A = this chain, B = another copy of it.
Amino acid sequence: VYRDPSGKTLADYPRPSVAVDTAVLTVGADGALTVLLIRRAGGHRRAEWALPGTFLHPGETLADAVRRSLADKAGLAPATTPRQLHVFDDPARDDRGWVLSVAHVLVTPARSVQPVVAARPDDVWLRPVTEARGLPFDHDRIVELAVAELRAAYRERPDPDGLLEEPFTLRRLRLLHEAVLGEGLHPDNFRRLVLDQLHDTGTTTAGTVGRPAALYRRRTAAAGA
């Protein structure tokens, strides 16, 4: 049996509960950056809505716990991977006991969230991030961190989280980035900045008003002709 310098074994150390809390972000058809909230189990408290979370189970990774919490609490089976944001470790942050929380962000297309909200309108709520305030625990802060993470990613690359269905026009891509960043972008400059990071399908839109637009896909790793 392993013993540390003070002679203790692993079992001698009291252990915290470890939770995950996740800000699920998406961009609605109206161009608003929204976060998914769920009705809290203990509805007698003042704060009714919170980010989905759960306790980590044995043999499970944090990412698996995030996916399980979303499946259980919102019926959501996202295709994308959660990213870690921060560990909240104040020993007194949860009055139920000693609980560490690993905050995550998960970005997923509106089309994967909307059926879920339609199916459980009383338990699941999509709120614009600007209006999702006053959440319990550290959840306000988690939303802030999640939004900052998302914006940093979208400033780097075109639609890194695959929010847009392929193929897409530059116009749709730009409207998405405007929604994520919360600011307008010049169509001409935006085009030049992202064009060499996209794959031109050679096809165009048809039947719409205005000149047909070229259709693009995300750049896969060295996709040959």
Given contacts A15-B18, A16-B18, whether A4 and B87 have CB atoms under 8 Å apart is: no
B4, B15, B57, B84: the one within 8 Å of A86 (CB): B84
B15, B61, B63: the one within 8 Å of A17 (CB): B15
Closest Cβ–Cβ distance, residue A9 to chain B (whole Å)? 9
Interface residues of A, dominant DSSP = loop
CA distance A50 to B89 in the complex (A): 24
A46 within 8 A of B: no
CA distance A2 to B99 in the complex (A): 13
Considering the complex, which residues of chain A in the window 1-26 have a beta carbon less than 8 Å from any beta carbon of chain B? 2, 4-5, 10-11, 13-18
In the complex, which residues of chain B have a beta carbon less than 8 angstroms from the beta carbon of A98? 58-59
In the complex, which residues of chain B have a beta carbon less than 8 angstroms from the beta carbon of A106? none
In the complex, which residues of chain B have a beta carbon less than 8 angstroms from the beta carbon of A184? none
Considering the complex, which residues of chain A in the window 90-115 have a beta carbon less than 8 Å from any beta carbon of chain B? 90-91, 96-100, 102
In the complex, which residues of chain B have a beta carbon less than 8 angstroms from the beta carbon of A87? 62, 84, 87, 102
